[in-house]
Structure 1
Amino acid sequence: MKKAIVAVALISWGAFAAADGSERTPTERINAFRTAQAFDCRNVSCKKLSSCAEACFKLLQCGQSVRDGDNDGIPCENLCSRRC
């Protein structure tokens, strides 16, 4: 008897749509998926983060407002020079 394996992937709409509602290119969709897979919501200091993208992920996706201590929209100013 043969067994079938079924895999289900849950991907957020953000991986397919850009912020302005337009559809993303295949490369942009892959990069959004990779970003979602590369970072997690562990609470670590800005000094231990590897990039501005990771700081933005923690601020926006994880809700870690501590990443933006002065509330100017720029997380971990040692890594980022502009808003996410």
Structure 2
Amino acid sequence: MTSQKAAPIKTAAQATSSSSAYNCSAKKTCGQMASCEEAQYHLNECGNGRLDSNGDGVPCESLCR
């Protein structure tokens, strides 16, 4: 009989990533974004395609150079 260690269970706080500081709120324009990271979150997690006007996958070119 071998003993197996169970995988640690993550709490909701531990499973939360740094991008959880943002949410899919009413922000819709690059001028309303505080950082490139926030713009990327809104593009990738919220599906706000308006932030990537040229379709290159980089939101808010003025923030994310």
TM-score (norm 1): 0.54
Task: Give the Å deviation of 1:34.
Answer: 2.4
What is residue 68 of structure 1 aligned with on the other side?
A: 52
Task: Give the Å deviation of 1:9.
Answer: 2.1
Instruction: Give the alignment partner of residue 51 of structure 1, picking from 28, 35, 51.
Output: 35
Check if 1:9 corresponds to 2:8: no
Q: Deviations over 1:49-82 (max 9, x none)?
A: 111000000000111111101101110111001x
Corresponding pairs, count:
53
What is residue 64 of structure 2 aligned with on the other side?
A: 80
Unaligned runs of 5+ in 2: 1-10
Unaligned runs of 5+ in 1: 1-7, 16-32
**% same residue:** 36
Residues 78 and 43 (structure 1 numbering): CA distance in 2 closer, same or farther, change over 3 Å? farther
Q: Deviations over 1:21-41 (max 9, x none)?
A: xxxxxxxxxxxx2221x1011
What is residue 40 of structure 1 aligned with on the other side?
A: 23
Higher Rg of the two aligned structures: 2
TM-score (norm 2): 0.68
